[in-house]
């Protein structure tokens, strides 16, 4: 298996935009250049708003380019569950809004002649287990009550045995990076000012709102839309979502019947084929786990490979990658005005349906900013009170934060000395009473940063598949040089300098502590981070 670039990013290029170098004043600041932010920027500009989109790194470089891009009404939370928690009308609104998102994407593809190979495909929720057949039948009935034209089938059209399936007609797929690249160009042509390498560190709600960038400039705006996938430093909203890592493999020259497929395992597997530049790829995802709860992340890719090989004949994968989904405690995303804010809007908790939910979020926020009614705004409101049935999940997810904050500090670090860290490995060590996250690169050089997450202080853990430091509390991720890769953190892990004797591994931690080798200010290169 090769690099951890996604199939989408490895097979396309995106336009580049400069950083914002001076203060600015606009109607709306959109923060984040993924599918949510770019769609919102486009729609808001189309309604005549003066829009500025600021992206911390490169547009489309977040979770969007790591998606498997099933554009579907078959949302991760079953319609039976949605109906139970949000009522029949709630389930109908989820179905309607998901359809509207697919059609909005189709409309934008057509309007701007976007070369992203947008294709209509059926979707199949199937099971290999007798015990899950009744659940598929119940989901069929619930999806029909939600207004979806679903069919019950004795089996899904797959090259391996299965026991029954639910067919969702007219779902879709596309090459996401090509879609986003064209959307950015089209939004710019509509008047959106796009700036890359412009990380937001603080947002002040008010009239105007003031958005502070890490490198100095501030932007004044009537409204702000935080489209950063994980919301920025919002403690309350953080208690309603949890970050899970999901893994993907892409195998070249494999064809299975056209369709989007999801099984009923927990965590579930999802797969489809898609042609890129004439090569058919089988794209398989799954093996999710809560972010930061496992270090041997390669193991999940191996499990995914074994799962695929036991069902379909595949060559070695050309691409393997992973990224985070933000799971919502009650199964639906949080979209709209942020609690305690008048002019700051958020969108998060998309689970594995963020290409459509992100598009829905852009449509809702565009209406709210313009003072228009939106039929889905109340259902997805970010300020909503959770239904009682999700209370257990709420507690389970939130016990993790105080638990990690306290108990992780009671555990010994991964290694006693840097000598125990092999090339390509990252481990925590203790020096001078301080816990450091230390990575040894392929050339043998050590890169040390503080292991204390800059969001709310939990301790980061190494992710060996991506070579990143991941936080188990709210899913922030950092490069081996400490740079923020995923929020909610907005500030990097503090860099630390190790004595040269540490690099050679000839000194133990205690002697190092006595000699006082840990100093702030090292500047290791940003290697191996995404």
Ligand X SMILES: Cc1cc2nc3c(=O)[nH]c(=O)nc-3n(C[C@H](O)[C@H](O)[C@H](O)COP(=O)(O)OP(=O)(O)OC[C@H]3O[C@@H](n4cnc5c(N)ncnc54)[C@H](O)[C@@H]3O)c2cc1C
CA distance 448 to 446: 6
By the rule CB under 6 A, 438 interacts with ligand X: no
Place of tokens 């709209």: 336
The number of residues that bind ligand X (CB under 6 A) is: 41
Per the listing, tokens 């989904």 go with 325
Question: Three-class SS of residue 426?
Answer: strand
Q: Which residue shows structure tokens 């892990």?
A: 493
Q: Strand, helix or coil at 303?
A: helix
Stretch that binds ligand X, among 58-66, 186-194, 420-428, 510-518 (CB under 6 A): 58-66
* Contact (Cβ atoms closer than 8 angstroms) between residue 183 and residue 113: no
CB 353 within 8 A of CB 76: yes
33 forms part of the interface with ligand X (CB under 6 A):
yes
Judged by CB under 6 A, does residue 242 bind ligand FES?
no
Which one of 193, 229, 320, 461 is in contact with ligand X (CB under 6 A)? 229
**Contact region with ligand FES (CB under 6 A), list: 61-69, 435-443, 450-458, 512-520:** 450-458
Considering CB distances under 5 to 8 angstroms, the limit depending on partner class, which of ligand X, ligand FES, none binds residue 200?
ligand X
For ligand FES, which is the closer residue by CB, 370 or 398? 398
If one asks whether residue 471 binds ligand FES (CB under 6 A), the answer comes out as yes
Is 490 a binder of ligand X (CB under 6 A)? yes
CA distance 213 to 219: 8
SS (H, E, C) 115-163: CCCCEEEEEEEEECCHHHHHHHHHHHHHHHHCCCCCEEECCCCCCCCCC
Residue 353 contacts ligand X per CB under 6 A? yes
Stretch that binds ligand FES, among 65-73, 97-105, 128-136, 468-476 (CB under 6 A): 468-476
Q: What, of ligand FES, ligand X, none, does residue 369 touch, CB below 5 to 8 Å by kind?
A: none
Instruction: State which of residues 146, 436, 473, 529 lies at the interface with ligand FES (CB under 6 A).
Output: 473
Q: How far is the CB of 485 from ligand FES (least distance, A)?
A: 12
Between 4 and 356, whose beta carbon lies closer to ligand X?
A: 356
What does the angle CA 403 – CA 496 – CA 475 come to, to the nearest 5 degrees? 35
Q: Cα 216 to the chain's mean position, in Å?
A: 27
* Residue 87 neighbours by CB under 8 Å, 6+ apart: none
* Least gap, CB of 356 to ligand X (angstroms): 5
Return the residue of 164, 259, 418, 487 that touches ligand X, per CB under 6 A. 487
Are residues 284 and 271 in contact, defined by beta-carbon separation less than 8 angstroms? yes
Tell me the β-bridge partners of 219. 24, 211
Q: How far is the CB of 510 from ligand FES (least distance, A)?
A: 29
d(CA 141, CA 307): 30
Q: Which of 422, 508, 505 is nearest to 464 (CA)?
A: 422
71 DSSP 8-state letter: B
End-to-end CA distance of the chain: 16
Query: Does position 524 bind ligand X by CB under 6 A?
Result: no
Backbone angles phi, psi at 441, to 5 degrees: -80, 175
Q: Residue 95 interacts with ligand FES (CB under 6 A)?
A: no
The interface mask with ligand X, positions 183-222, x = CB under 6 A, is ----------------xx----------------------
Q: Of 208-216, 217-225, 270-278, 469-477, which part binds ligand FES (CB under 6 A)?
A: 469-477
Q: Which of 171, 356, 374, 390 binds ligand X (CB under 6 A)?
A: 356
Residues binding ligand FES (CB under 6 A)? 453, 455-458, 471, 473-476, 488-489
Residues binding ligand X (CB under 6 A)? 31-37, 54-57, 61-64, 66-70, 199-200, 227-229, 232, 246, 248, 285, 323-325, 350, 352-356, 358, 487, 490
């Amino acid at each position: 298996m090769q690099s951890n670039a996604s199939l989408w990013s490895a097979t396309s290029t995106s336009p580049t935009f400069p950083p914002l170098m001076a203060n600015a004043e606009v109607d709306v600041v959109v923060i984040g250049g993924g599918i949510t932010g770019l769609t919102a920027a486009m729609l808001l500009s189309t309604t005549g708003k003066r829009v500025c989109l600021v992206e911390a790194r490169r547009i489309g470089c977040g979770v969007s380019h790591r998606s498997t891009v099933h554009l579907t009404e078959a949302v991760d939370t079953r319609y039976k569950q949605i109906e139970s928690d949000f009522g029949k009308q709630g389930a109908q609104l989820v179905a309607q809004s998901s359809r509207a998102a697919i059609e909005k994407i189709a409309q934008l593809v057509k309007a701007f002649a976007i070369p992203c190979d947008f294709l209509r495909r059926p979707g199949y929720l199937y099971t290999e287990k007798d015990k899950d057949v009744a659940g598929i039948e119940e989901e069929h009935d619930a999806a029909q009550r939600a207004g979806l034209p679903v069919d019950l089938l004795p089996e899904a059209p797959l090259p391996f045995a299965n026991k029954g399936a639910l067919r969702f007609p007219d779902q879709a797929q596309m090459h996401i990076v090509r879609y986003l690249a064209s959307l950015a160009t089209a939004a710019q042509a509509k008047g959106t000012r796009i700036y890359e390498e412009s990380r937001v560190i603080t947002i002040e709600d008010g009239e105007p709102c003031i958005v502070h960038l890490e490198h100095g400039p501030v932007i004044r705006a009537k409204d702000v839309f935080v489209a950063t996938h994980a919301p920025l430093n919002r403690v309350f909203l953080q208690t309603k979502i949890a970050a899970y890592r999901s893994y993907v493999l892409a195998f070249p020259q494999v064809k299975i019947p056209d369709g989007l497929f999801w099984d009923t395992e927990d965590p579930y597997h999802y797969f489809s084929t898609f042609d890129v530049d004439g090569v058919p790829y089988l794209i398989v995802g799954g093996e999710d786990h809560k972010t930061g709860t496992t270090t041997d992340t390669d193991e999940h890719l191996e499990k995914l490979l074994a799962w695929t090989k036991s069902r379909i004949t595949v060559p070695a994968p050309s691409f393997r990658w992973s990224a985070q989904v933000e799971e919502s405690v009650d199964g639906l995303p949080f979209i709209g005005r942020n609690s305690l804010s008048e002019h700051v809007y958020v969108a998060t908790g998309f689970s594995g349906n963020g290409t459509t939910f992100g598009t829905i979020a852009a449509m809702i926020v565009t209406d709210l900013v313009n003072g228009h009614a939106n039929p889905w705004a109340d259902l997805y409101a970010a300020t909503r009170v959770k239904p009682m049935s999700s209370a257990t999940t709420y507690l389970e997810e939130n016990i993790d934060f105080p638990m990690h904050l306290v108990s992780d500090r009671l555990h010994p670090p991964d290694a006693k000395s840097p000598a125990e860290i092999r090339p390509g490995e990252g481990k925590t060590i203790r020096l001078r009473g301080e816990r450091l996250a230390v990575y040894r690169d392929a050339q043998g050089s050590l890169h040390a940063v503080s292991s204390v997450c800059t969001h709310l202080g939990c301790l980061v853990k190494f992710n060996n598949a991506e070579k990143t430091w991941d936080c188990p509390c709210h899913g922030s991720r950092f490069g081996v040089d400490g740079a923020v890769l995923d929020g909610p953190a907005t500030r990097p892990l503090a860099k630390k300098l190790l004595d040269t004797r540490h690099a050679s591994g000839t000194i133990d931690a205690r002697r190092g502590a006595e000699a006082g080798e840990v100093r702030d200010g090292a500047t290791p290169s940003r290697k191996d981070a995404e």
